[in-house]
Amino acid sequence: MTNFPNRKLPRLKEFDYSRSGAYFVTICSHGKNHLFGEIKNGQIHLNGLGEIINREILKIQIHYYNIEIDKYVIMPNHVHMIICILGAEGINPFPTKKNDISNVIGKFKAGVTRIAGNAFMHSEKTRIWQSSFHDHIIRDKEDYNKIWEYIDTNPLKWELDCFYNSKKEQ
């Protein structure tokens, strides 16, 4: 029997990720490869896959009655989003949909993968996404404003980004 190292759980234990609030989410490409476009002169220029990602982000708030995407940026090898879960006023018109961050991101990633596979991916083994995602629960207005600014200026600071030197897709 092989002993694998214990993997750190990516979510806070006992925290309800369907609770009203704002969440900063980062989703990376598989292998952190530059799959979504490129940065030129401080602006992102999305390729075909990047455009699919953009359309699917905009659909999130259509598919989920109490989810808003306040801010996002698609970088060459990762995506940042501020996702807000609004208070559960009234009754959920779609009671079969679980509106928590993991479900929203999972459905988003699956949708992008399905559409991209149908559109132009050459192999079913081509992976787009790294497993899981990083989240940060936004605690207050100051935290929110700092993250908003980070997302807004991310393309301008691309060469300083920790993902900058990752593998460029050939």
What integer pLDDT is reported at residue 42 of this predicted model?
A: 92
148 touches 36 (CB < 8 A): no
H, E, C per residue of the chain:
CCCCCCCCCCCCCCCCCCCCEEEEEEEEEHHHCECCEEEECCEEEECHHHHHHHHHHHHHHHHCCCEEEEEEEECCCEEEEEEEECCCCCCCCCCCCCCCHHHHHHHHHHHHHHHHHHHCCCCCCCCCECCCCEEEEECCHHHHHHHHHHHHHCHHHHHHCCCCCCCECC
C-alpha–C-alpha distance, residues 3 and 144, integer Å = 40
> Structural domain boundaries of the chain?
21-151
What integer pLDDT is reported at residue 97 of this predicted model?
A: 54
What integer pLDDT is reported at residue 161 of this predicted model?
A: 80
> pTM score > 0.85 for this model?
no
Structural domain 21-151, CATH architecture: 2-Layer Sandwich (3.30)
What integer pLDDT is reported at residue 90 of this predicted model?
A: 46
What integer pLDDT is reported at residue 162 of this predicted model?
A: 78
57 touches 108 (CB < 8 A): yes
Return averaged pLDDT per consecutive 10 residues of the chain, 170 residues in all: 51 61 94 94 95 97 89 97 79 59 93 84 70 91 96 92 66
